[in-house]
């Protein structure tokens, strides 16, 4: 590990640059900004701070590639390049995992599994779609004889804005379908966690993508991100992040009616019934909110537990909260790392205090962990009401808000509880009553529902939400089609 740490420090003695048109360059302004290790608060590196001029150059490079060399690349070659990028990520996995751990604050074992493994899996899955994008023929009712068919074409130049919680995996999940569909990309990582995306861009060049196909700009959302969202020559924006920023992107994108995909916030419910397999449900519910210090859009941050087993379930989750090691991210025994920034720490602890002030009780946790870094204790709040901010709003931290329900509550009543927020991203149901499970799943306004199981994102399943959790879907067939346009062609044969 010391050898890899030394290599990391040496690599980042030089500020990170922007990738535009196949060339690495400084920001036009010459400005840089620092990124920090959330475990310590220490500076990790400086990276270029892109402005409007840099975004203009990146979009121009992407447009040139889209209308030029990339348009001539056949589907099987696009698939080969995407798979090559996956191979290079896998080969560089240890260095990438270390980069992600230091920049994001994720325990090293999860960086290996989720970030590196997830990025590789996403790209290999999406590469398979490059040769399977299909149009169709249609029999139409117009007089005469016609040949009518529908083409599915790449949407064009895509701006992709990646969140700070899973920068490598989310960049791969966005790049894969865009490239498979034949689009070109301007990729912008979050300013808090840009380092793994810079390395990803280096590997994309090594993989052999033509210049301008993948461009990468680091910078702040209010400058580089805003310029990308408003740019008149960008055909589509794909964004993952907060609902507040998503609303700003919608406004910025109005200028040219660009296509938009938004994967936004969540306040996802977990339902545990008295007949559930509690040996599975309790640890799953705990990790569903405490994994990655709760910084997951689909985290199960609201728990609804049937009153018959509520004490057992809550004590079980509280016990896990006490047991899970919170600490330095390079320690292989650590299960929960820090929050990403001091700002995020203030946000999360502020919500916990708000919950107390509104009448919620702290079952476990509730405070900041002593020492350097942005650590907060895994927390469970009970005695909550629907009117409380902690139960309505996304906290994005390791804070579980628990509520009991009665055995007399039916699927309609439980769905009303699940649907009580503006979000609708994910839900989890634990019960042996399969009829209840399906009835409740149908009534929940949620983009995905898991029954008697837990797990992360699978590239084969569409990911997205109802209501304020977003527009459109990523992954699966829906994800690839989001990067295409339909064109109907009709030819009169007589």
Residues 267, 394 contacting (CB under 8 angstroms): yes
Strands of 37-99, DSSP E: 43-48
> Strand 302-306 and strand 399-405: pairing?
parallel
Cα 140 from Cα 158, distance rounded (Å)? 33
With tokens 């509880």, the residue in question is: 417
Query: Could you tell me the two tokens for 128?
Result: 């398979």
Residues 462, 478 contacting (CB under 8 angstroms): yes
> Strand 43-48 and strand 32-36: pairing?
antiparallel
CA angle 29, 31, 34 (to 5 degrees): 160
Report phi then psi at 490, rounded to 5.
-130, 130
Cα 311 from Cα 195, distance rounded (Å)? 44
| Ramachandran assignment for 52, one of left (phi > 0), alpha (psi -120 to 50 degrees), beta (any other) | alpha
What is the spatial order of strands in the sheet that 184-188 belongs to? 23-25, 18-20, 214-216, 184-188, 157-161, 236-240, 259-263, 470-471
Identify the active-site residue in 36, 100, 211, 263.
Answer: 263
Q: Give whole-number Cα distances, 135 to 73, 153, 487, in Å.
A: 18, 9, 9
In 3D space, the residue among 292, 80, 310 whose CA is nearest the CA of residue 301 turns out to be 292
Check if 183 is active-site.
Answer: no
Write out the DSSP string of 375-419: -B--EEEES--TTSHHHHS---SSEEEEEEE-TT--HHHHHHHHT
With tokens 């070659």, the residue in question is: 77
Cα 364 from Cα 317, distance rounded (Å)? 9
Identify the active-site residue in 36, 297, 377, 474.
Answer: 297
Residues 437, 462 contacting (CB under 8 angstroms): no
Query: Could you tell me the two tokens for 29?
Result: 């302004």
Instruction: Return the active site residues.
Output: 263, 297
């Amino acid at each position: 590990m010391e050898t890899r740490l030394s290599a990391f420090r040496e690599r980042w003695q030089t500020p990170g640059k922007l990738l535009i048109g196949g060339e690495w360059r400084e920001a036009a302004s010459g400005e840089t900004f620092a990124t920090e290790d959330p475990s310590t608060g220490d500076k990790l590196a400086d990276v270029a701070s892109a402005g409007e001029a840099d975004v203009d150059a990146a979009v121009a490079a992407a447009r040139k590639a889209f209308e030029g060399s990339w348009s001539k690349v056949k589907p099987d070659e696009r698939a080969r390049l995407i798979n090559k990028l996956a191979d290079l990520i896998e080969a560089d996995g240890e260095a990438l995992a270390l980069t992600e751990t230091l920049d994001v604050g994720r325990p090293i074992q999860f960086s290996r599994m989720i970030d590196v493994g997830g990025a590789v899996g996403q790209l290999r899955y999406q590469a398979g779609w490059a040769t399977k994008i299909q149009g169709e023929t249609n029999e139409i009712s117009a007089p005469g004889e016609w040949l009518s068919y529908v083409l599915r074409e790449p949407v064009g130049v895509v701006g992709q804005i990646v969140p700070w919680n899973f920068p490598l995996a989310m960049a791969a999940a966005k790049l894969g379908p865009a490239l498979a569909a034949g689009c070109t990309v301007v990729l912008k990582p979050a300013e808090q966690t840009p380092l793994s995306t810079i390395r990803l861009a280096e590997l994309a060049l090594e993989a052999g993508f033509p210049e301008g196909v993948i461009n990468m700009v680091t910078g702040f959302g209010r400058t580089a991100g805003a310029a990308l969202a408003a740019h008149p020559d960008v055909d589509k924006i794909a964004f993952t992040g907060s609902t507040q920023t998503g609303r700003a992107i919608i406004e910025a994108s109005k200028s040219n009616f660009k296509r938009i995909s938004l994967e936004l916030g969540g306040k996802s419910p977990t339902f545990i019934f008295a007949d559930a397999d509690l040996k599975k449900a309790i640890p799953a519910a705990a990790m569903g909110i405490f994994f990655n210090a709760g910084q997951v859009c689909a985290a199960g941050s609201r728990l609804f537990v049937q009153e018959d087993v509520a004490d057992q379930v809550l004590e079980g989750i509280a016990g896990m909260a006490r047991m899970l090691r919170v600490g330095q991210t390079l320690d292989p025994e650590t299960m929960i790392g820090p929050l990403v920034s001091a700002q995020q720490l203030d946000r999360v602890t502020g919500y916990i205090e708000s919950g107390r002030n509104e009448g919620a009780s702290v079952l476990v946790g509730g405070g900041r962990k002593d020492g350097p870094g942005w650590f907060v204790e895994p927390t469970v709040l009970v005695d909550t009401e629907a009117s409380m901010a902690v139960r309505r709003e996304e906290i994005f931290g390791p804070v579980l808000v628990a509520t009991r329900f009665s055995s007399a509550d039916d699927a309609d009543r439980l769905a009303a509880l699940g649907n009580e927020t503006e979000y609708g991203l994910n839900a989890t149901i634990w019960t042996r009553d399969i009829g209840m499970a399906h009835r409740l799943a149908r009534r929940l306004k949620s983009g995905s529902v898991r029954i008697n199981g837990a797990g992360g994102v699978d590239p084969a399943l569409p990911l997205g939400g109802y209501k304020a959790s977003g527009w459109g879907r990523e992954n699966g067939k829906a994800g690839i089609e989001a990067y295409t346009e339909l064109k109907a062609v009709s030819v009169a044969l007589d």
